[in-house]
Chain A
Amino acid sequence: MPENDHSQSHSHEHENQYSDMQVRVKALETLLIEKKLIDPAAIEAIIDTYETKVGPRNGATVVAKAWNDTSYAAWLKRDATAAIASLGFGEQQGERMRAVFNTPDTHNLIVCTLCSCYPWAVLGLPPVWYKSAAYRSQAVLAPRQVLAEFGLALPEGKKIRVWDSTAELRYLVVPERPAGTEGMDEAELASLVTRDAMIGTAVVTRPGASA
């Protein structure tokens, strides 16, 4: 039995309220404050977290450390939740993480077809394309074509491994370290690692090289 029957019978009135989200959200916030159900200062703290504190730089730090330190990479492979938490990201109680490593053989791609599950703690908030019906539908069906849209053409014969995040595990792709980066320290390495490379829609190239 659908649990939101009301929307069928009042559909016109119901739909109109979503035509101006600015107004609708303002009204909701006002109502919830009046009812003492939310604290606007908590809202500000949440917004500030994702605007300024938590974003892909976290994941890039993890990747750079894994490239630079083989025992960290092994820990990341074995227990990504703990390895990531040790750097102060992710969470003590664990967003359950799994790191999946790109190899010369296999390229990894992450999606959540059913909603938009995403590793917020290491990558921040997901981009619109990740949450779109186009990506959610095609990433599992035609991953090579999706990658082509991002300008990524994998070598012939390279396998693609798509991970649909249907449960509470969140996935971080560890891209292959590009050649020519041997002298770099972790901070420099981290600066090469893009958000898209940690989802799987890009690879990491060294500065000055073409993709």
Chain B
Amino acid sequence: MNGPHDLGGQMGFGPVAPEKNEPVFHAGWEKRALGITLCCDALGAWTIDESRHSMEGIPPAAYLAASYYEKWIRGLHILLERHGFATRDELLSGHKQRDDLRSRNILKPEMVADMLASGPSQRAVDTPPLFSTGQRVRTRILHPTTHTRLPRYARGKTGMVDAIQGSYVFPDTNAHGKGENPQWLYTVVFDAVELWGSDSDPSSSVSIDAWESYLEQF
């Protein structure tokens, strides 16, 4: 979706202004937010794609004003309610109104290391890659209302395949419970001039990692 998260190329956010000697966490609640979210992700009820999409749907003004871990908690509220783990009243009041009767293996401390290690979403596909390294390709112009990982700044652009990275679960369908539908993944590199126009820096280039269905022959 063309949500507030799709930030590449936007302007007006001011300087990056890195904090010197920044602590890992800025408040105790951030630590809890990290832990709670990862524990809930380990319930196995939603995919990482769905959880990313839950944050993309945060209303733009709220998204841009929210800190990182606040975005996580907002997204988590949506997921917990959607998957029947908590009602809106329970989330607002902070009190259980009914038990969750589904039996679940919840995350235990001895499982944490393996959970953090659990790898991504590589899956075999039975067709060979459509595109090869060094080939010029064009990204499609698409504006789905649903989840995608093709940023707006890189749609309808011509670039070169830098690498074929394997085959992975396709987030655009997986985020919506419509199946993993794995596809070949390509690193595609674009000259800055192609993305941003002839006034931009000719010595810069930008790559994205694109699933095969984002690309077409050039």
Residues of A within 8 A of B (CB): 1-4, 6-8, 11, 13, 15, 17-18, 21-22, 24-32, 34-39, 41-47, 49-51, 54-55, 91-96, 98, 113-116, 120-121, 124-125, 127-129, 131-138, 140-144, 146, 149-150, 157-169, 196, 201
The 5 A-B pairs with the shortest beta carbon distances in the complex, nearest first, are A27-B94, A43-B35, A93-B119, A167-B209, A113-B8
Contact yes or no, A96 B120, CB < 8 A: yes
* Inter-chain contact A127/B19, CB cutoff 8 Å: yes
In the complex where A25-B32, A46-B112, A133-B64 touch, is A39 in contact with B106 (Cβ < 8 A)? yes
Q: Pick the contact of B8 from A11, A34, A93, A136 — CB < 8 Å?
A: A136
Q: Does the CB pair B9–A141 fall under 8 Å? A: yes
Chain B residue nearest to A135 (CB atoms) is: B16
Assembly CA distance A127 to B26 (angstroms): 10
Interface residues of chain B, those whose CB is within 8 Å of chain A, are 5-11, 13-19, 22, 24-29, 31-36, 38-40, 42-43, 52-55, 57-59, 62, 64, 66-70, 73-74, 76-78, 82, 85-86, 88, 90-96, 99-100, 104, 106-109, 111-113, 116-122, 145, 149-151, 153-154, 165-166, 168, 185, 187, 189, 195-196, 201, 203-211
**Contact between B109 and A45 (Cβ–Cβ < 8 Å)?**
yes
Tell me whether B32 and A29 are in contact (CB under 8 A).
yes
A160 touches B7 (CB 8 A): no
Whether A3 touches B39, Cβ cut-off 8 Å, given contacts A113-B8, A125-B24, is no
State whether A46 touches B35 (Cβ < 8 A). yes
Q: For the complex, give the distance between the alpha carbons of A41 and B35 in Å.
A: 10
User: Are A149 and B16 closer than 8 Å at their CB atoms?
Assistant: yes
Note all chain B residues with C-beta closer than 8 A to A39: 39, 106-109
Shortest CB-to-CB span from B50 to chain A, Å, is 10
Known: A42-B109, A45-B109, A166-B210. A134 touches B34 (CB 8 A): no
